[in-house]
Amino acid sequence: MKYRAVIFDLDGVICDTDRYHYLAWKKIAGEIDVHFDETINNKLRGIGRLESLEIMFGSRSEEFSEPKKHELAQKKNQYYRKLLQSMSPQDLDPDIKATLDQIKTQGLTIAIGSSSKNARLILKQIGLDNYFDAVSDGTNISRSKPDPEVFLKASAYLGIEAPYCLVVEDAKSGLEAAIAAKMDTAAIGDAVKYGLADYQLEKLSDLLKYV
């Protein structure tokens, strides 16, 4: 068996929180009179809040001071966390849980590799707290995807070298991060169209063909 570990992005792979992100960013955009729609929201997937703000601001970035940007980023997170409170184990697709269980049964270790600082909260809400062997997230990295730091730390936490880790991602920046970490990749959802991954998945259970 080539792989000893599978590292999963969280948002868009294990569960779907895009709608909550969209609603929180939409609220911020309304407060500062910046245009925001689904197309712009898609550009924010997999990257940090401050980087997301720069994309939202566009040519108006210089109108906002650094303290103001940090204030807006924090406010967005507050809105987002409030929305997350409505999540429950019912938001975890049974097929995804079954796939994760099967991977663990096969003796592989599993980890989360997410830029989100809310990863542990989300896992708790959907009933997967303490389920993964390691969680590398926005609370322990200084550089967001496409930097490989989040995946390198996940492999370090697992004690498994990068070539033996397979990363599952739904965002281009996540695939780029995994490739930079010298890890094999499986793309799902939006990430499939970029043709960067070693494997293309229509659904998470397709992963079982490769592990």
Query: 11 catalytic, yes or no?
Result: yes
Query: What residues contact 145, with CB distance under 8 A and at least 6 apart?
Result: 46, 47, 115, 171, 173, 174, 176, 177
The mean pLDDT value of the chain amounts to 95
Domain 18-84 in the same topology as domain 5-16+91-209: no
When pLDDT is cut at 50, 70 and 90, the band that residue 100 belongs to is very high
Question: Do the Cβ atoms of 131 and 123 come closer than 8 Å?
Answer: yes
CA atoms within 13 A on the CB side of 113: 37
The per-residue pLDDT for 29 is 96
CATH code matching the domain that covers 18-84, chosen among 2.60.120.280, 1.10.10.10, 1.10.150.240, 1.10.3720.10? 1.10.150.240
Catalytic one among 9, 18, 170, 184?
9
**Could you tell me what percent of the chain has a pLDDT over 70?**
100
CATH code matching the domain that covers 5-16+91-209, chosen among 3.20.20.80, 1.10.3720.10, 3.40.50.300, 3.40.50.1000? 3.40.50.1000
Sign of the C-alpha dihedral computed for residues 156, 157, 159 and 163 taken in this order: negative
CA distance 34 to 36: 6
The per-residue pLDDT for 1 is 65
The per-residue pLDDT for 196 is 97
Q: Where are the domains of the chain?
A: 5-16+91-209, 18-84
Reported as a single tens digit per residue, the pLDDT across 55-86 is 999 999 999 999 999 999 999 999 999 999 99
Reported as a single tens digit per residue, the pLDDT across 138-165 is 999 999 899 999 999 999 999 999 999 9
Least confident of 42-46, 98-102, 203-207: 42-46
Q: Which amino acid is at 5?
A: A
The per-residue pLDDT for 184 is 98
Residue with tokens 């663990």: 104
CA distance 167 to 183: 7
When pLDDT is cut at 50, 70 and 90, the band that residue 45 belongs to is confident
Catalytic one among 11, 18, 137, 170?
11
pLDDT greater than 80 at residue 211: yes
Query: 9 catalytic, yes or no?
Result: yes
The mean per-residue pLDDT over the stretch 88-117 comes to 96
The mean per-residue pLDDT over the stretch 187-199 comes to 96
